[in-house]
Homo-oligomer: A and B are copies of this chain.
């Protein structure tokens, strides 16, 4: 989190060299993202990026130590990007309108996915074989589920009206601890179900399984999102 270097507006501003370097780093990532769209993550090629940028393939190594490091940067960027969109959508809502916030978050998620299908596939689709996500990706990855959970936590669902959720306490222990046990297990279970349904809807749509069945995925998603909200936040 040494982002202080980037935001300082002092005279040298990190120097001309640093600025040019940041720009080229961004260009490399942009070119890589364009490649994702055509070939998919596992076909991401440093040489193809260098070709598009008109530079020697070896020059990429001044910016990323390896192909995997580039992939990691793309993954982290994608997580940050969705999370930012989601947080913005949430922030635009009346704080007390929890259903509205949930629906807004859901729509922000789908919008981002439809606009950036390759980034979506990168982080929520089949993991790239042979690639092990480093721990840097964990925090950004947690922001989306956290945003969904926060809506829950801020609503005061003290009562546990769902039946027999005690047996889930163990399966969801980590999550319950994460919210300091302010959310009862049965409610948490419904939240995880909602989370799964949202991602299921988006994945089925983007990966082609709604072809010839759900012909208007956007309309259907809108319906599903509000019906989940009703179920989740009574």
A: which residues have CB within 8 A of B?
A: 38-43, 121, 124-130, 133, 138, 141, 145, 165, 167-168, 170-175, 178, 189, 192-193, 195-201, 203-204, 207-209, 212-217, 219-220, 223-224, 227-228, 231
Contact = CB atoms under 8 A, between A and B. Distances in A.
A200 B196 contact: yes
Given A196-B200, A197-B193, A129 B213 contact: no
Contacts of A200: 195-201, 203
B171 A214 contact: yes
A223 B126 contact: no
Given A175-B214, A189-B224, A200-B197, A43 B219 contact: no
* Main SS class of interface, A: helix
A85 B223 CA distance: 31
Nearest to A219: B171
A126 B220 contact: no
A40 B197 CA distance: 26
B172 A220 contact: yes
A145 B213 CA distance: 10
A40 B41 CA distance: 12
Contacts of A127: 207-208
Contacts of A167: 219, 223
B40 A215 contact: no
Contacts of A201: 193, 196, 200
Contacts of A39: 129-130
A30 B204 CA distance: 27
B220 A174 contact: no
Contacts of A124: 203, 207, 209
B227 A193 contact: yes
B172 A192 contact: no
A220 B197 contact: no
Nearest to A122: B126
B224 A193 contact: yes
Contacts of A228: 193
Contacts of A126: 40-41, 121, 125-126, 207
A120 B214 CA distance: 21
B213 A174 contact: yes
